[in-house]
Structure 1
Amino acid sequence: FGDDRVAEAMAMASRAPLDLRVNALKAKREKVQASLKHLGAEPTPWSPLGLRITLSADARNPGIHAEEDFIKGAIEVQDEGSQLAALFTAAKPGEQVIDLCAGAGGKTLALAAMMGGKGRLIATDADKRQLAPIHERLSRAGVHNAEIRTPKGDADPLADIKASADLVVIDAPCTGTGTWRRNPDAKWRMRPGALEIRLKDQAEVLERAAGLVKPGGRIAYITCSVLQPENGDQIRAFVARHPEFAVQPPEQTATVLWDKAEAFAEAALQTPEGWLMTPRRTGTDGFFVSVLKKA
């Protein structure tokens, strides 16, 4: 971050707000905001689906999981940066979409809402333990077009899919440096060699995604990291190995933000490889997003 490194680090040490994503399959943001008025919920600055509850440094998190809107699947807890990352994938109804590192399903749920229940959504993860909560979350959210593929032994759960996906989303395993304001102790728990392990994991999952995308399809590569080796460097290395892929310019991906695209472009950090959001610049967690299109 150059001369901005102190300001960026200070922002990463501040208290993060509680961000919610309104599930478009079940509710409208205005209605949910009204029902959560007692918690001080306000629209997020960028995401058209977000609500934000600002918390003081010593405040306790409100019991969102006990709210009727949460129980009925109208809202999910999701940082605005993560919401924007999902929007930048431009998942559309009728597409075949693969969430390659689905984990607990946060982005899977967002993708399903963007697809409006139409098309084929496949969620999987190399670590089947991470997938445990996804079934209940999908049910609560009213998602009916998602297929969960749990790894079994050495068998590839996506063996039947070869160069046919419209979109492969990679919520990549990373150091998580962008989430330090939510997990302050994480900066001291990072072990020597952790970055190198993550870089290897990211390169492997990008290689896997390359074989799943059809001509004209795209890969959305996402990290919750602010480290260049995990972000721009990783994308440049991938494109060097796969010249059939090209990075979509950030200004093209920003069109999903409608009237806020120009303001977002001034706030976020644009690079030739994609967008970088940070607590200081965008008021979100640290997220990097790159969209790659296959010729």
Structure 2
Amino acid sequence: MTPAARLSAAIEVIGTILSDRRPAADVLKDWGRSHRFAGSGDRAALSSLVYDVLRRRASSAFIMGEETPRALALGMLRLGRGLDVEAVAALCDGSRFAPAPLSGAETARLTSATLDDAPAHVRGDYPEWLDASLAAVFGEERAAEGAALAERAPLDLRVNSLKGAVDKAEQQLAHLNPVPGQWSPLALRIALEADGKAPPLTAEPAYLKGLVEIQDEGSQIAAILAAPPRGGQVLDLCAGGGGKTLELAALMDGAGQLYAYDDDLRRLAPIHERVQRAGAHNVQVRSPRGKADVLADLEGRMDLVLVDAPCTGTGTWRRNPDAKWRMRPGALAERIKEQAEILDNAARFVKPGGRLAYITCSLLDEENVAQVRAFTGRHPAFRALPPADTVLALGERGIALREAAIDRPEGLLLTPRRTRTDGFFVAVMVRAAAAR
């Protein structure tokens, strides 16, 4: 496919996403099935175009003066790809499989329209109904924070210390030019290609043998700040596919006992193969069984309970740009209720003197600071540790991280703009020791 044909296909796919309100990944998959002639390079380029359009949906519509699929694609080429009007016109020449030529109005807007007078939610490319929530966290910087969330996410890896050191992973992946992470001592970052395409990491021997896992550096930091004790008893209560479970196991040097649980058996399914590949021998997976309480024997015994809570995912918009446009206020209310219930359940497993780590990939105070305040209000035996204490798990890097992130009494907030990671909130609460 020519670049112009790929642009036409992207406009078609965007139209389906907007009209059917379906996830972009599903629409792209269907397009690939019905266009068998398109090779893997074409599909990757198309996917990159579509996701870049979704990243810049609000600002592109503002620049072009309308929100049609074509307008969004043209606006993105200028804002996201940096093309001038001549370059855009060359793609839209009206030839076979190419978009129709630019109109006079389109040429004028691509030439002179700016975002100077655009409201914050347009400059930040996020839904208008979230403006008040983001303003409560970031104030006048909310547009800049949103714009950082509209950029492409990097490819971050975590080196599995159960299988080898960072220098070993660097050597095995030298052809991908990895660079050390800024904050996590376990992180390596690999630059994406110009069109946003990532290398086939899951086919690399280092991945297949468990030496590295794909994990955003912010996610790595969250597990490190939870500080799982070597030889201790730890419960990962919302384990999902096991990303943080595997890191906790490595941070514990494979000692002690780590229990992994999720109330959704389908989310938990991948963990078994991943645990085996990682060589995490201290992990015991507890699968849900109807109404049975499969964790009852763990009550009051855990040195650490980690709650990687279900949330709106606002901190991961770089990776899931279509999710922000499908999100509705009702979803936020539902997540807030669910988080409170999970935290209340988690409290029963923490032993006196033990810790409860609460993590979200959200930027919203309703899911972060407010949840911690409400939880400690309901459970006065718990108190939130100040980030000045929790960042010490990272040594000198932790001090620098605290200066870069947003430090609140209830926890630490990482953002793409401030820490060059996905957005993560990390709170660590300690339960009062038993009276003697």
In structure 2, stretches of 5+ residues that fail to align are 1-137
Match of 2:380 in 1: 243
Asked whether the equivalents of residues 307 and 359 of structure 2 are also in contact (C-alpha less than 8 Å), the reply is yes
Residue 202 of structure 2 aligns with an amino acid whose one-letter code is: H
Distance 1:151 1:131 in 2: 9
Cα displacement (A) at 1:19 = 0.2
Cα deviation, 1:128-172, whole Å, max 9, x if unaligned, reads 110000000000000111111110111111011221110000000
Corresponding residue SS for 1:219: strand
Distance 2:412 2:196 in 1: 31
Match of 1:270 in 2: 407
Distance 2:311 2:398 in 1: 27
Asked whether the equivalents of residues 234 and 258 of structure 2 are also in contact (C-alpha less than 8 Å), the reply is yes
Match of 1:210 in 2: 347
Asked whether the equivalents of residues 94 and 115 of structure 1 are also in contact (C-alpha less than 8 Å), the reply is yes
The alignment status of 1:89 with 2:226, answered yes or no, reads: yes
Which structure has the highest helix share of the two?
2
Distance 1:111 1:257 in 2: 15
Question: Which of 155, 163, 175 is 2:300 aligned to?
Answer: 163
Match of 2:196 in 1: 59
Match of 1:126 in 2: 263
Match of 1:227 in 2: 364
Distance 2:270 2:164 in 1: 22
Question: Which of 246, 250, 254 is 2:391 aligned to?
Answer: 254
Match of 2:278 in 1: 141
Which residues of 2 match residues 16-55 of structure 1 at below 5 A?
Answer: 16-55=153-192
TM-score normalised per structure 2: 0.67
Residue 130 of structure 1 aligns with an amino acid whose one-letter code is: R
Cα deviation, 1:154-197, whole Å, max 9, x if unaligned, reads 11110112211100000001000000001110101213400111
Cα deviation, 1:46-65, whole Å, max 9, x if unaligned, reads 00000001225513111001
Distance 1:259 1:163, change over 3 A: same
Match of 2:144 in 1: 7
Asked whether the equivalents of residues 152 and 196 of structure 2 are also in contact (C-alpha less than 8 Å), the reply is no
Cα deviation, 1:39-82, whole Å, max 9, x if unaligned, reads 12100100000000122551311100110100100000000000
Distance 2:193 2:417 in 1: 17
Residue 113 of structure 1 aligns with an amino acid whose one-letter code is: A
> What RMSD in Å do the two structures reach over aligned CA positions?
0.9
Asked whether the equivalents of residues 15 and 57 of structure 1 are also in contact (C-alpha less than 8 Å), the reply is no
Which moves more between the two structures, 260-269 or 218-227?
A: 260-269
Distance 1:32 1:107 in 2: 19
Distance 1:56 1:247 in 2: 42
Distance 1:187 1:57 in 2: 24
Paired residues, number: 295
**Rg larger in 1 or in 2?**
2
Question: Which of 319, 323, 347 is 1:182 aligned to?
Answer: 319
Residue 224 of structure 2 aligns with an amino acid whose one-letter code is: L
Asked whether the equivalents of residues 288 and 294 of structure 2 are also in contact (C-alpha less than 8 Å), the reply is yes
Distance 1:162 1:145 in 2: 19
In structure 1, stretches of 5+ residues that fail to align are none
Asked whether the equivalents of residues 392 and 399 of structure 2 are also in contact (C-alpha less than 8 Å), the reply is no
- The list of structure 1 runs, each at least 4 consecutive aligned residues, that deviate by more than 3 angstroms after superposition, is none
Which moves more between the two structures, 169-178 or 155-164?
A: 155-164
Distance 1:161 1:195 in 2: 31
Residue 394 of structure 2 aligns with an amino acid whose one-letter code is: L
TM-score normalised per structure 1: 0.98
Distance 1:215 1:103 in 2: 27
Residue 257 of structure 1 aligns with an amino acid whose one-letter code is: L
Cα displacement (A) at 1:242 = 0.7
Cα deviation, 1:254-288, whole Å, max 9, x if unaligned, reads 11111212211110100010000000000000000
Asked whether the equivalents of residues 15 and 56 of structure 1 are also in contact (C-alpha less than 8 Å), the reply is no
Distance 1:56 1:6, change over 3 A: farther
